[in-house]
Chains A and B, each alone.
Chain A
């Protein structure tokens, strides 16, 4: 802790070069994280969003982490500066935005935190964004490509997304979300024993989740009518639109997937169908074989969820 104090003092002083900034920051990560986490806790307390339990502690850590991540990258463009002062002003700036953090009581359960972790990652990572189609609906890469109506080059990209997600992205997201191995195991267990119950819960939470994270969607990406979607596919434009909006909007997804069922040819009625772990290699088979932990749907067809139910 002695070192910590030395850095603490240095973090209050002016840093004049990028190199100095990088070096100091690399040595002071624990202090920076603790400071950002402390500020986040304070913010949660002051806005009556705090509870004295491990879930809240984890949330504060997670958001503190995200703040420090940005600080580390942005800070280099702000030298000369006082690191602590800069961190504090970044934090204050972040918290003065409307609805700066996704905090909803319903999302504090393990499944809620799982979904929240995925969605918040998907805002910044295309790998995670593409993976949402699998985790939420069980769509393999081939299905995703067909659903989105992609050509050769973009398909390659989708496969790459799936691969990177499978190799490192998923695990990293779980780690950064603070879902422990045992928590994930419990979720898998529940999905095996009570799939309908859990899927129903996912269906219920999706609007909460999506309405928060769809904020990160530019205004010019609104929901489209069935006819407009049809036109967009027919005239072959708005590829980015398709990925982004359909991954984050259940209602439009179900509508488009239904409409394009012939193309997608999954043979399944599109519906919410949670998958915890990423698609294994050769996942097209897995989708039909149902050998993944998450899939054990004896009565898949019976459990149709209304697309309009909230």
Chain B
């Protein structure tokens, strides 16, 4: 559709985008609004003696950070990985804001620190194109800064080389399969190591528990010891989580067969870990004389195990999805002005998002047969993902015409054999 009104509107928007850098520099930073995942979480007062802002999020990690001035102009921000950390410094007005995001899967923390411009920084910044203003009069007209500029370029060059060494291979050598394979194997290797470490921790835990039974009179010491072990395990698991994500990230550029291989590796690893955990869990159950503190610790461990292992399963799943060969686009041909080679992965990205929206966990009534579960899943056109975990099945459906998930889930709930349905994406709900 092409009408004068639309053309006009589009032109307005383009002007606004074009004007964005100027507007971002226009207002003297005073109160900066902080938005996390599109929610306004507070204000950074730049005039304050300690112009800093901290925030921590529960449940969801900090994936999306926006900094806006009072009139709403977007002056800075970034996206951060779901787990792991990101720190950047963004120029705002004549100063800058240092952003530090630290994410784990179910939350994250954010720290912002505003620094009014020390002279050298703004000049350095503008001379190497850091500042969002396209040209800085100071840099352009003052010869004093020529030296700084030269220096800055050296700094920049070194910086770029460092960046290249660190990041560019992922992008540039996308075609170089041998190299990719190497990297992936390395990634897989390190994942394996992490998993091995968890194994070891679990073994130690079992030992510790055996010891606890044997000398049950002096429990206190061993409980302290166990606490420490559980912490270590938790830490290892945390690391493993992070590792899995970075593997997942790396895998995004890899061809399907490699991905499959890695996925299989992961699944095997997951299964082994799972088996070990099952053992641990049984052992734990057989220990009668452990006091209440110990039981609580174990419960905590169990829930962490469940969480971790659901995440591992989900991650393998996503790895496959991320690497599946692009399917032909089903919709909206000629919708985009130009079909560039990049368009297909996008379509996939969106479809993947849709699919994810239809992942859910379902629990069945006691005594429901495997057969009727299969039948229901088939009826829903769904796929069961992974084995049952603590009574919950993960099911993925892919509807040709997506209904609103709520309505769809309502209809699932109505099935007689279904006890409960939950949409928590990452893990089976705790019981």
Q: Chain B residue with minimal CB distance to A88?
A: B346
Q: B64 — which chain A residues lie within 8 A by C-beta?
A: 93
Q: Chain B residue with minimal CB distance to A176?
A: B16
Q: A90 — which chain B residues lie within 8 A by C-beta?
A: 79
A34–B336 touching, CB < 8 Å = yes
Q: A125 — which chain B residues lie within 8 A by C-beta?
A: 68, 70-72
Chain A's nearest CB lies how many Å from the CB of B284? 35
A244–B402 touching, CB < 8 Å = no
**What are 21 pairs between A and B in contact, CB < 8 Å?**
A12-B342, A17-B156, A19-B128, A46-B332, A46-B354, A65-B13, A74-B78, A74-B79, A77-B78, A78-B79, A80-B171, A85-B345, A91-B349, A92-B349, A92-B350, A124-B68, A124-B74, A125-B70, A126-B31, A180-B5, A244-B40
A54–B3 touching, CB < 8 Å = yes
Binds A, one of B137-145, B159-167, B233-241, B362-370: B159-167
Question: Contact residues of B with A, CB < 8 Å?
Answer: 1, 3, 5-6, 8-10, 12-14, 16-18, 20-21, 24, 31, 33, 35, 37-43, 63-64, 66, 68, 70-72, 74-79, 88, 90, 128-130, 132, 134, 156, 160, 163-164, 167-168, 171-172, 331-332, 335-338, 340-342, 345-347, 349-350, 352-354, 356-357, 401-402
Binary contact readout A64-106 vs B (1 if CB under 8 angstroms, 0 otherwise): 0100111011101111111011001111110111100000000
Chain B's nearest CB lies how many Å from the CB of A177? 9
Interface residues of A in 37-72 (CB under 8 A from B): 38-39, 41-43, 45-48, 52-54, 57-58, 61-62, 65, 68-70, 72
Binds B, one of A25-33, A108-116, A199-207, A268-276: A25-33
Measured between alpha carbons, how far is A98 from B358 in the docked complex, in Å?
Answer: 12
Which 4 residue pairs spanning A and B have beta carbons closest together? A125-B72, A19-B129, A96-B353, A92-B349
Contacts known (A16-B168, A175-B16); A69 close to B74, Cβ less than 8 A:
yes
Q: B134 — which chain A residues lie within 8 A by C-beta?
A: 22, 26
Chain A's nearest CB lies how many Å from the CB of B125? 10
- Choose one: A61, A96, A216; the contact of B9 (CB below 8 Å): A61
Measured between alpha carbons, how far is A84 from B336 in the docked complex, in Å?
Answer: 13
Q: Is residue A266 within 8 Å, beta carbon to beta carbon, of the partner chain?
A: no
A33–B78 touching, CB < 8 Å = no
- Choose one: B24, B31, B346, B401; the contact of A39 (CB below 8 Å): B346
Q: Is residue A217 within 8 Å, beta carbon to beta carbon, of the partner chain?
A: yes
Chain B's nearest CB lies how many Å from the CB of A259? 25
Chain B's nearest CB lies how many Å from the CB of A185? 14
Interface centre among B90, B340, B401 (most CB of A within 10 A): B340
Interface size in chain A (residues, C-beta < 8 A): 83
Contacts known (A34-B336, A124-B33, A217-B39); A52 close to B1, Cβ less than 8 A:
yes
- Main SS at interface, chain A: helix
Contacts known (A38-B337, A88-B342); A127 close to B20, Cβ less than 8 A:
no
- Choose one: A12, A22, A41, A61; the contact of B6 (CB below 8 Å): A61
Binary contact readout A3-22 vs B (1 if CB under 8 angstroms, 0 otherwise): 00100100010101111001
Contacts known (A124-B35, A127-B71); A77 close to B353, Cβ less than 8 A:
no
Q: Is residue A236 within 8 Å, beta carbon to beta carbon, of the partner chain?
A: no
Q: A215 — which chain B residues lie within 8 A by C-beta?
A: 39
- Choose one: B24, B76, B172, B346; the contact of A92 (CB below 8 Å): B346
Q: A33 — which chain B residues lie within 8 A by C-beta?
A: 10, 13-14, 17
Interface centre among B70, B77, B90, B160 (most CB of A within 10 A): B70
Binary contact readout A140-183 vs B (1 if CB under 8 angstroms, 0 otherwise): 00000000000000000100110011001100100110101000
B39–A216 touching, CB < 8 Å = yes
Chain B's nearest CB lies how many Å from the CB of A30? 6
Chain B's nearest CB lies how many Å from the CB of A19? 3
Contacts known (A45-B332, A124-B66); A14 close to B14, Cβ less than 8 A:
no
Measured between alpha carbons, how far is A39 from B336 in the docked complex, in Å?
Answer: 8
Q: Is residue A192 within 8 Å, beta carbon to beta carbon, of the partner chain?
A: no
A16–B164 touching, CB < 8 Å = yes
A124–B72 touching, CB < 8 Å = yes
Chain A's nearest CB lies how many Å from the CB of B93? 14
Contacts known (A54-B6, A92-B346); A164 close to B71, Cβ less than 8 A:
yes
- Choose one: B8, B37, B77, B336; the contact of A74 (CB below 8 Å): B77
Q: A52 — which chain B residues lie within 8 A by C-beta?
A: 1
